[in-house]
Chains A and B, each alone.
Chain A
Amino acid sequence: MARLTRTSVLVCTAALAVGLTACGGGTGASSNDADGKSGDAKTIKLVAAEYSSGTKAFWDKFATAYKAKTGNTLDVQVVSWTDIDQQSSTMIQNGNPPDILNLNAYASYAKDDLLYSADDVLSPAVKDDLIPAFVKSGTYNGKLYGMPDLSSARALFYNKKLFQQAGISAPPTTWADFEADAKKVSALGGGNVGYAMPLGPEESQAEFSIWLVNNGGDWKTDGKWSINSAKNVETLNFLKKLAVTDKVTQNNPGKTNRTDGAFALFGSGKAGMVVGFSPLSAELDKSKAVDYAVAPMPSADGSAPQTYGVTDYLMAFKKKGNQDAVKAFYDLYYQPDQVNTFIKAEGFLPVTKTGLTTFQSEKALAVYLQTLPNVHLTPTDDPGWDKVKLAVQQNLGSAVAPDGNPQKVLDALQQQAESGS
């Protein structure tokens, strides 16, 4: 026993020493810009969100290209989606923001006057190439601050095998059809559920968004919050009906997250339908476990289907002497062979008009691409949304519980939105 302890102490000390040297060797290579002319930044830092395991590889390659083209160094830090809010907040709190930050929100940063606008750092040709819907969502107070890096649009995924077993010949186009089809799949038994509905805190605002735009609702109408509009209450009541009255969803939809909940269930072949996007296709194609197809989202009354989309942003922080390097970054990123390569590798959708043409040949993406120019986005151009989104994530799920009250939940969110903006 005594010898054992001594060895373990030795091992620990050795591990500690190794750890310390490893830590000591990690830093120190950040500021070797001795030959900088007139104080121009020679090294700029990018903090990027990790979309997949390939994200780091793309940015590293991009940094090499950036170095070759401009002579500047791009310091790349890739952060997981769960940590990026915390990391970016800490950096800004310490007065040390990155030069470029990749995030799903930008308006609060623009409001705090931390960002360059497109007038400062984007070439006119690049700006003209961006799809207008994304320019609109990236514009705060009349100026473009949120440069879109990629986009996604949602659509209805359905399990062809379950549909066949339930005797359904075509995907639903109205909510009534949807409800009937979900009931038929649930009736198959064996643990099958009609619809996997993720209204847990991970991304409930996205799940609700695609439903509400297909009922003619929206988060904001004519510049004013319309979270508790009659249309939206009707939509949430319908979702609650699916969960509580019809019981055609998975257990506890208000406490199910998207990635490890709804997608996992659909991926295991137990869910008839789920709202997905192109990265889910990529995942399902790889595992080949489910025979699925993608269809436009059904609308409430059978009118033209609407798509809800998401875009993320690359924003640039105003720092002394970094303007030219940042501009060069954007010039290079929006080169078709950079931005489209990235988007294609990650399985997302383009943000530029040239990208739309390039991706036109991808058959699997056709269902999204047609709707992309008219996509509905969440009001990311309003700094108030950054808080409303979090409030929605923490509260919406309770509305679809057996004792949930959609009207009350949406009223509370509306009140919070109005008091915050």
Chain B
Amino acid sequence: MSQSTLRQAGPATSRPRRRGTRDATSGWVALLWLGPALLLIGGVVVFPAVALVKASLSEYSITGLRKGPAGLDNYRHVIEHPALGTVLRTTAIWVVAVVILTMLISLALAQFLSKQFVGRRFVRWAIIVPWAASLIITARLFTLLLDYYHGIANTLLVALPFVDQPVDFLGDDRFTLASIVAVGVFVSVPFVTYVLLAGLNAIPDDVYEAARIDGAGPWQVYRRITLPLLAPALSVSTVLSIIYVFNSFPVVYTLNDRNPGFSHDTTITWMYKLAFKSAEKDVGMSAAAGVFNVLLILAAVAVYLRVTRGATQENQA
């Protein structure tokens, strides 16, 4: 109750003030107010982007010394790299699998956490912990848990009557990517759950009450009321997850660090290896891969938004 009055009070009081200041301000004053934000954007977004593009157009020695302009050579080398296909396929599987699984699990968890029950606060805290821990530490912990010889996971598995051999979760090509995806889901679920929980809490109770009076069953209520009203929260958290998972470095890199070659690298870890770990050891080529990566994320998000917008319009029609 108090929350909703607060929310209404915000815009109501600020509107007249905004109208008043517009008359009095000149462009300079506006710039003064925007200044810090613009500086921040310039320093954190524009400058690195320009540096990245500049690096991608330069030729570098293995030591990191810039030797001169390279034209588009770096981009050509990235496109012609024999591992590119594998890396793109791994990236696609990684992003799609982690985002979809995260969404499904988070939806169920958020639904569960929105109910009143004893100890709810503790469960909520328990779920946020993986998010608060450093990704590298979490990933490192999983390499220990999943270890072939010393890992707890295998100790438990072998204790089962029908398993006689440990599973090489991180070394066996059949399981490596699946293991990495599972850890990726584990670290992505808390944030998405909380966004969806906020979305669920924002759905007013009277809508549900009305539905129940009209005789809707639980599944009907969920499909016709909860999901449509949750759509904004769903799409925001999906877009954020796509970007976040795409750019996730520590989980993939740490869990994959024992495997030679590029068979389980996403574009981000591949980029890092191109710059510092692989035989290329070429900052310029890595920068070119970085530019491609930004374009790839933009394309993925654009496609997602296009698809979901189409879907919601269909729903409304």
Chain A positions within 8 Å of B, measured between CB atoms, are 2, 85-86, 88-93, 108-109, 111-112, 114, 191, 200-202, 204, 250-252, 254-257, 260-261, 264-265, 268, 270, 383, 386-388, 390-391, 393-398, 416
Contacts of B171 in A (CB 8 A): 251-252, 255-256
Other than the given A250-B149, A387-B281, 7 more pairs (CB < 8 A) read A109-B63, A191-B149, A200-B260, A202-B257, A252-B148, A255-B260, A394-B277
Contacting residue for A92 out of B3, B65, B149, B275, CB 8 A: B65
Cβ A252 vs Cβ B168 within 8 A: yes
Report Cα–Cα, A416/B280, bound state, in Å. Answer: 11
Cβ B258 vs Cβ A255 within 8 A: yes
How close is B65's CB to chain A, nearest CB, in angstroms? Answer: 5
Cβ B257 vs Cβ A112 within 8 A: no
Report Cα–Cα, A390/B262, bound state, in Å. Answer: 13
Given known A252-B168, A387-B279, contact A91–B257 (CB-CB < 8 A): no
Report Cα–Cα, A326/B63, bound state, in Å. Answer: 21
B220 at interface, CB cutoff 8 A: no
Cβ B64 vs Cβ A90 within 8 A: yes
Contacts of A383 in B (CB 8 A): 62
Contacting residue for A394 out of B150, B170, B261, CB 8 A: B261
Cβ B261 vs Cβ A93 within 8 A: no
Contacts of A2 in B (CB 8 A): 2-3
Contacts of B172 in A (CB 8 A): 252
Report Cα–Cα, A89/B63, bound state, in Å. Answer: 6
Q: Which residue of B lies closest to A196 (CB)?
A: B149
Cβ B283 vs Cβ A390 within 8 A: no
Report Cα–Cα, A387/B258, bound state, in Å. Answer: 19
**22 A-B pairs, CB-CB below 8 angstroms?**
A89-B64, A89-B283, A93-B55, A109-B63, A112-B65, A114-B65, A200-B260, A201-B260, A251-B168, A255-B259, A256-B258, A264-B150, A265-B149, A383-B62, A387-B62, A387-B279, A388-B279, A391-B279, A393-B260, A393-B277, A397-B261, A398-B261
How close is A350's CB to chain B, nearest CB, in angstroms? Answer: 28
Q: Which residue of A lies closest to B143 (CB)?
A: A260
Report Cα–Cα, A255/B258, bound state, in Å. Answer: 5
Q: Kindly identify, within residues 262 to 292 of chain B, every residue whose CB is under 8 Å from any CB belonging to chain A.
A: 262, 273, 275-279, 281, 283
Interface of chain A, main secondary structure: helix
B60 at interface, CB cutoff 8 A: yes
Cβ A394 vs Cβ B260 within 8 A: yes
Report Cα–Cα, A261/B170, bound state, in Å. Answer: 12
Report Cα–Cα, A2/B277, bound state, in Å. Answer: 48
Contacts of B277 in A (CB 8 A): 85, 201, 390, 393-394
Cβ A268 vs Cβ B150 within 8 A: yes
Contacts of B283 in A (CB 8 A): 89, 93
Contacts of B279 in A (CB 8 A): 387-388, 390-391, 394, 416
Report Cα–Cα, A91/B149, bound state, in Å. Answer: 40
Report Cα–Cα, A252/B170, bound state, in Å. Answer: 10
Closest 6 CB pairs of A and B: A89-B64, A391-B279, A92-B64, A252-B171, A397-B260, A255-B171
How close is A308's CB to chain B, nearest CB, in angstroms? Answer: 20
Q: Which residue of A lies closest to B158 (CB)?
A: A191
B61 at interface, CB cutoff 8 A: yes
Cβ B261 vs Cβ A86 within 8 A: no
Report Cα–Cα, A88/B273, bound state, in Å. Answer: 15
Q: Which residue of B lies closest to A90 (CB)?
A: B64
Cβ B62 vs Cβ A386 within 8 A: yes
B66 at interface, CB cutoff 8 A: yes
Contacts of B170 in A (CB 8 A): 255
Contacting residue for A201 out of B65, B259, B281, CB 8 A: B259
Report Cα–Cα, A350/B259, bound state, in Å. Answer: 33
Report Cα–Cα, A383/B260, bound state, in Å. Answer: 22
Q: Which residue of B lies closest to A113 (CB)?
A: B65
How close is B109's CB to chain A, nearest CB, in angstroms? Answer: 18
How close is B296's CB to chain A, nearest CB, in angstroms? Answer: 23
Given known A92-B65, A93-B64, A112-B61, contact A201–B149 (CB-CB < 8 A): no
Contacting residue for A86 out of B143, B168, B275, CB 8 A: B275
How close is B68's CB to chain A, nearest CB, in angstroms? Answer: 13
Cβ B260 vs Cβ A204 within 8 A: yes
Contacts of A114 in B (CB 8 A): 63, 65
Q: Which residue of A lies closest to B165 (CB)?
A: A251
Report Cα–Cα, A374/B166, bound state, in Å. Answer: 43
Report Cα–Cα, A53/B143, bound state, in Å. Answer: 23
Given known A201-B258, A201-B260, A255-B260, contact A394–B64 (CB-CB < 8 A): no
Cβ B61 vs Cβ A200 within 8 A: no
Contacts of B276 in A (CB 8 A): 85-86, 89
Cβ A257 vs Cβ B63 within 8 A: no
Q: Kindly identify, within residues 62 to 87 of chain B, every residue whose CB is under 8 Å from any CB belonging to chain A.
A: 62-66
Contacts of B63 in A (CB 8 A): 88-89, 92, 108-109, 112, 114
Report Cα–Cα, A265/B149, bound state, in Å. Answer: 8
Contacting residue for A108 out of B62, B148, B150, CB 8 A: B62
Q: Which residue of A lies closest to B284 (CB)?
A: A93
How close is B269's CB to chain A, nearest CB, in angstroms? Answer: 12
How close is A418's CB to chain B, nearest CB, in angstroms? Answer: 13
Contacting residue for B278 out of A108, A251, A254, A390, CB 8 A: A390
How close is A98's CB to chain B, nearest CB, in angstroms? Answer: 12
Q: Which residue of B lies closest to A253 (CB)?
A: B171
Cβ A394 vs Cβ B65 within 8 A: no
Q: Which residue of A lies closest to B273 (CB)?
A: A394
How close is B260's CB to chain A, nearest CB, in angstroms? Answer: 4
Report Cα–Cα, A92/B64, bound state, in Å. Answer: 6
| Residue with the greatest number of chain A CB neighbours at <10 A, chosen from B168, B171, B260, B261 | B260
How close is B222's CB to chain A, nearest CB, in angstroms? Answer: 24
Report Cα–Cα, A8/B279, bound state, in Å. Answer: 47
Contacts of B258 in A (CB 8 A): 200-202, 255-257, 261
Report Cα–Cα, A162/B61, bound state, in Å. Answer: 49
Report Cα–Cα, A386/B166, bound state, in Å. Answer: 37
Q: Which residue of B lies closest to A387 (CB)?
A: B279
Contacts of B149 in A (CB 8 A): 191, 250-251, 264-265, 268, 270
Q: Which residue of B lies closest to A94 (CB)?
A: B64
Cβ B259 vs Cβ A200 within 8 A: yes
Q: Which residue of B lies closest to A392 (CB)?
A: B279
Q: Which residue of A lies closest to B149 (CB)?
A: A265
Contacts of A202 in B (CB 8 A): 257-258
How close is A111's CB to chain B, nearest CB, in angstroms? Answer: 8
Report Cα–Cα, A270/B148, bound state, in Å. Answer: 13
Report Cα–Cα, A88/B66, bound state, in Å. Answer: 14
Q: Which residue of B lies closest to A396 (CB)?
A: B260
Cβ B260 vs Cβ A93 within 8 A: no
Contacts of A265 in B (CB 8 A): 149
